[in-house]
Copies of this chain bind each other. A is one copy, B any other.
Amino acid sequence: MATFGDIGLAAGINILSALVFLIAFAILRLQPFNDRVYFPKWYLKGLRESPTHSGAFVKKIVNLDWRSYIRFLNWVPDALKMPEPELIDHAGLDSAVYLRIYLLGLKIFVPMTLLAWAILVPVNWTNNTLEKSKVTNKLQYSDIDKLSISNVPFGSNRFWAHIVMAYAFTFWACYILRKEYATVTAMRLHFIASERRRPDQFTVLVKNVPLDPDESVSESVEHFFLVNHPDHYLTHQVVFNANKLAQLVKEKQKKQNWLDYYQIKYSRNQSKRLMTKTGFLGLCGEKVDAIDHHTAEIERLSKEIAEETKRVKNDPKSIMPAAFVSFKTRWAAAVCAQTQQSRNPTVWLTEWAPEPRDVYWDNLAIPYVSLSIRRLIVSVAFFFLTFFFMIPITIVQSLANIEDIEKTAPFLKPIIEVPFIKSFIQGFLPGIALKIFLIVLPTILMLMSKFEGFLSISSLERRSAMRYYIFNFVNVFLVSVIAGTALQQLKSFIHKSASTIPTTIGVAIPMKATFFITYIMVDGWAGVAGEILRLKPLIIFHLKNFFLVKTEKDREEAMDPGSIGFDTGEPQIQLYFLLGLVYAVVTPVLLPFILIFFALAYVVFRHQIINVYNQEYESAAAFWPDVHGRIISAMVFSQLILMGLMSTKGAARSTPFLITLPILTIYFHKFCKGRYEPAFIRYPLQEAMMKDTLERAREPNLNLKGYLHDAYIHPVFKYNEYDEDDLTHEKLEQETELVPTKRQSRRNTPVPSKISGGSSPSLPDVQENLQP
């Protein structure tokens, strides 16, 4: 049982490590040679360039300006300074709304914490149940337990305070959730309405085009839409199966990297001829000149790519039964996306086309029947993953048993018997199996979502996030609360009655408060502080920079800005919502720790979003219904748990009062779903019509067909074209894709990089470069 002292010690250690991370970050980020690690976003946007053209060589690597070190914590206000509309403009609505999840946490939990400390803590503290039971039962208890509900005597009338607070917390959370949902909906609608013209506004993705022996897919699509949307159909693009081509391109890139590596090596030491082996991983096979070999390989691949490109474009078999169909107006696209086209509901399926960069190309050709089978397989697989994942890990752990290894492979005995290696195997190997599993878990979940057949990266991430949350809930939360693996729990829950499950969990909840406080400090505080340091990208960037980088373009590619990572980040936040809601009534001591997490994470991720993360797609906050739904489910769970706990505390009379809470909460959820969710799924015709009318008035002679001509071409074809073009062209294209250069407000607001990267050295004024 942890006392205040223990908790204080743990807090001290974690605060210290968090501080170390933060200070290391504050110093590292000021060094110019780390600039591309800590400010990649600005490079990607073309608002910052490598500090090569000014100053001495030393200055390029180390920052010698002592004044900047004084202001080393300036990044915090910098990160907070950028106003939200500008943030949306800078990093997209997804990022801005993602930050609002942390803010939502603060909005919900700050008043809850104050109220809980003002009312519940005194109510709990002024009892002596635990002291008494210490005397009678020799029960161990800690000071923290004295502040929790455990300290209230059996059947006490004081429990009414907890019930009233449960109501107050629920109403407050619902109020804030509703307000937030309304705000996000308004932001989304405004964002969509004020957006520039984008190809996906006019385009619908048509799947499961039925095959016709007399017509090609392209003809079939054209005829169908000319007949059924005669006044609106504009053009369409078929989808090629370019998976093989993409593989070739990837291979070529890899060879190019090696060539670069050898060329740099050669340029540094021209006396030695560099050799490589042609076999597996360059370890065996014939010895050849490295540079010549790779140049030849690249040439061969280029030829193959050209051939494959030709084949894909001409072979009717490489055309998939799907197409991007574009319409003359947004209204018509909205109509086509929302209606059923054909008598048979499994062909001619239409849905909104995702943004071009959001499309997940590999899944476009999955037929309908296969989709539902895939869904079944994935749900069964996920069930087994969640409840049975401990079995293979236990097997691996038992294999890591030293005696067994020595028996099966006696020749390893001398190595293993070295004391250091022995203790390493005994101490770390079992843990490593679990750790490796947890590291690859998001990848496994993402593979599941991909297999399930979602068509856009954003929906893939949303589905993975849901699964990750469920996995966390079962294997982190429940397993921590009740001892035993998830499988054992599942077994015991099946054999328990519906009314005893909340009781079982509810009773265990107050006892685990100290554990979760430590968890929050390790995972939440130190983990978030570690995120800002970006240790892994820092090392990889410098390795790449040293071995591979020849040109500015290479350096750009060596940057790994990363992205928000909705599929892992959001479930983590949700775990804190869950902890906060569950412990708000039971052990209010836990709340301040959660508050610190939310505040710290908000600042850190705001900084990262402004300076680091690259936006991979823009879904216009399509994930909000999921976020909202998960918080609601955490609330309902916490209410059921409280009910279970109360029933063991001799407050059974409270059950009717407490059962009303989840019913009201679920009703609230339904209300929100009906009121706000359609804004995230459908596109109102009124909106579409308004934008169409405006556009027609502004640009009556717009060549929309030309604009949409190659919007939905597989990126691999674009890559090929780029490859032949020069560098500048590519860069310009990227800029026009990402930066709304003609935006009026930009001219009046200060340069964004000055606001958020103010304390960093060598900031070229790129404003002029942007104006064409």
By a beta-carbon cutoff of 8 Å, the part of chain A in contact with chain B is 189, 224, 227-229, 231, 331, 334-335, 338-343, 345-346, 348, 368-369, 372, 375-376, 380, 493-500, 663, 667, 670-671, 674-679, 682-687, 689
A343 and B687: CB pair below 8 A?
A: yes
B667 and A376: CB pair below 8 A?
A: yes
> CA A674 – CA B348 in complex, angstroms?
14
Chain B residues in 8 Å Cβ range of A346: 674-675
Given A495-B497, A667-B376: A345 in contact with B675 (beta carbons within 8 A):
yes
B334 and A684: CB pair below 8 A?
A: no
CB distance from A356 to the nearest CB of B (A): 24
A684 and B342: CB pair below 8 A?
A: yes
A685 and B372: CB pair below 8 A?
A: no
> CA A605 – CA B667 in complex, angstroms?
41
> CA A683 – CA B496 in complex, angstroms?
47
> CA A674 – CA B375 in complex, angstroms?
13
Chain B residues in 8 Å Cβ range of A494: 497-499
Our pick among B189, B340, B493 for the contact of A498 (Cβ within 8 Å) is B493
A339 and B335: CB pair below 8 A?
A: yes
A228 and B682: CB pair below 8 A?
A: no
> CA A338 – CA B685 in complex, angstroms?
11
CB distance from A671 to the nearest CB of B (A): 5
Chain B residues in 8 Å Cβ range of A679: 343, 345
Given A339-B335, A341-B686, A683-B340: A372 in contact with B670 (beta carbons within 8 A):
yes
- What are 10 A-B contacts with C-beta separation under 8 Å? A227-B686, A338-B340, A340-B684, A343-B684, A343-B687, A345-B675, A346-B675, A372-B670, A375-B670, A380-B663
> CA A385 – CA B682 in complex, angstroms?
37
A671 and B372: CB pair below 8 A?
A: yes
Chain B residues in 8 Å Cβ range of A689: 227-228
B685 and A343: CB pair below 8 A?
A: no
Chain B residues in 8 Å Cβ range of A340: 338, 678, 682-685
Copies assembled: 2
Chain B residues in 8 Å Cβ range of A376: 667, 670
Q: Give me the 7 closest cross-chain CB pairs, A-B, nearest first.
A: A345-B678, A340-B682, A338-B339, A497-B497, A496-B497, A494-B499, A340-B684
CB distance from A342 to the nearest CB of B (A): 5
Chain B residues in 8 Å Cβ range of A229: 685
Chain B residues in 8 Å Cβ range of A671: 369, 372
Our pick among B339, B676, B685 for the contact of A341 (Cβ within 8 Å) is B685
Query: Nearest residue in B to A229 (C-beta to C-beta)?
Result: B685
Chain B residues in 8 Å Cβ range of A331: 228
CB distance from A370 to the nearest CB of B (A): 12
Chain B residues in 8 Å Cβ range of A227: 686, 689
> CA A435 – CA B498 in complex, angstroms?
34
B228 and A686: CB pair below 8 A?
A: yes
Chain B residues in 8 Å Cβ range of A342: 684, 686
Given A376-B667, A497-B496: A686 in contact with B343 (beta carbons within 8 A):
yes
> CA A493 – CA B380 in complex, angstroms?
27
CB distance from A338 to the nearest CB of B (A): 5
> CA A345 – CA B189 in complex, angstroms?
12
Chain B residues in 8 Å Cβ range of A499: 494-495
Chain B residues in 8 Å Cβ range of A369: 671
Chain B residues in 8 Å Cβ range of A687: 343
Chain B residues in 8 Å Cβ range of A683: 340
Chain B residues in 8 Å Cβ range of A343: 189, 679, 684, 686-687
B674 and A372: CB pair below 8 A?
A: yes
Query: Nearest residue in B to A343 (C-beta to C-beta)?
Result: B684
CB distance from A337 to the nearest CB of B (A): 9
> CA A331 – CA B336 in complex, angstroms?
11
CB distance from A684 to the nearest CB of B (A): 5
* Besides the known contacts A227-B686, A340-B682, A343-B684, 20 further A-B residue pairs in the complex with CB atoms under 8 A apart: A224-B686, A228-B686, A228-B689, A339-B339, A339-B682, A341-B685, A342-B684, A342-B686, A343-B686, A345-B676, A345-B677, A345-B678, A345-B679, A345-B684, A346-B674, A372-B670, A372-B674, A376-B670, A495-B497, A495-B498
> CA A484 – CA B686 in complex, angstroms?
57
> CA A671 – CA B372 in complex, angstroms?
7
Chain B residues in 8 Å Cβ range of A496: 497-498
A341 and B228: CB pair below 8 A?
A: no
Chain B residues in 8 Å Cβ range of A345: 674-679, 682, 684
CB distance from A248 to the nearest CB of B (A): 37
> CA A684 – CA B224 in complex, angstroms?
13
> CA A231 – CA B335 in complex, angstroms?
14
Chain B residues in 8 Å Cβ range of A667: 372, 376
Chain B residues in 8 Å Cβ range of A228: 331, 685-686, 689
CB distance from A696 to the nearest CB of B (A): 12
CB distance from A236 to the nearest CB of B (A): 16
Query: Nearest residue in B to A676 (C-beta to C-beta)?
Result: B345
Query: Nearest residue in B to A224 (C-beta to C-beta)?
Result: B686
CB distance from A333 to the nearest CB of B (A): 11
Query: Nearest residue in B to A673 (C-beta to C-beta)?
Result: B372
> CA A387 – CA B62 in complex, angstroms?
77
Chain B residues in 8 Å Cβ range of A674: 345-346, 368, 372
